[in-house]
Amino acid sequence: MPHHEMHFLQRSGWLRASVLGANDGIISTASLLMGVAAAGADNSALLVTGVAGLVAGALSMATGEYVSVSSQTDIEQADLAREARELQDNPDSELRELTGIYIARGLSPDLAQQVAQALSHHDSLAAHARDELGLHEVNQAQPLQAALASALAFASGATLPLLTAWLAPHAQVQSWLIFSTLPFLGLLGAVAARAGGASVCKGVSRIVIWGALAMAATALIGHWFGVHA
């Protein structure tokens, strides 16, 4: 039976975009609502602010991810095209370069040359893309996937503080935002850490600390403008 392994690296593309989107959706929307609530806004203003923040943030995340990952894809494609030209114009030189890479990784010169010749005969461009450029289908950039994952994750994350602001008594909206947002941020950090094979404690602590700081900062700014309005 063939042996198959599932590595955490295979999740890096969608996991990064999803965690970043959800994290930003929760923190930015909750912080925005905290600041507006601290300034003395009424329920209608809070809800309009939250919905506007959700839509603008989701579209911004999608655009940013698409542009960023598309730029990465353009660089990868340009490098592959350059490597293809080198293979066509200087195949012997490229074979020596690939052999040198395998020697540097610990193979004997004879074995390195045999491996380089075999892989070049099978698919020379793929061999150079993987071993010279470090490109592999597992970590290949996917602009549309990253954009959609970021937008959906942001909207999902932003929904929590928005619903909290809608359901909470107006006088207690800030307290409700704190006690609903921070535990959910901790849960998100734990899930992301487990999915990525990282430390759960580190994943929870860093996301909760930075989320609390962001909410505190916007609350202070909102309070200051509300007092001095």
Q: Using one digit for the tens of pLDDT, what is the confidence trace for 52-81?
A: 999 999 999 889 888 988 887 788 778 778
Residue 8 included in any domain:
no
Residue 95 within a domain: no
pTM here is 0.69
> Do the domain assignments include residue 116?
no
Number of domains, the chain: 1
In this prediction, residue 3 carries a pLDDT of 43
What would the DSSP string read from start to end of the chain? Answer: -------GGGGHHHHHHHHHHHHHHHHHHHHHHHHHHHTT--HHHHHHHHHHHHHHHHHHHHHHHHHHHHHHHHHHHHHHHHHHHHHHH-HHHHHHHHHHHHHHTT--HHHHHHHHHHHHHHHHHHHHHHHTS---GGG---HHHHHHHHHHHHHHHHHHHHHHHHHS-GGGHHHHHHHHHHHHHHHHHHHHHHHHT--HHHHHHHHHHHHHHHHHHHHHHHHHHHH--
| 220 lies in some domain | yes
Q: Structural domain of residue 24, as residue ranges?
A: 13-86+143-227
Q: Which residues of the chain have pLDDT under 50?
A: 1, 3-4, 6-11, 138, 228-229
In a domain, 112, yes or no: no
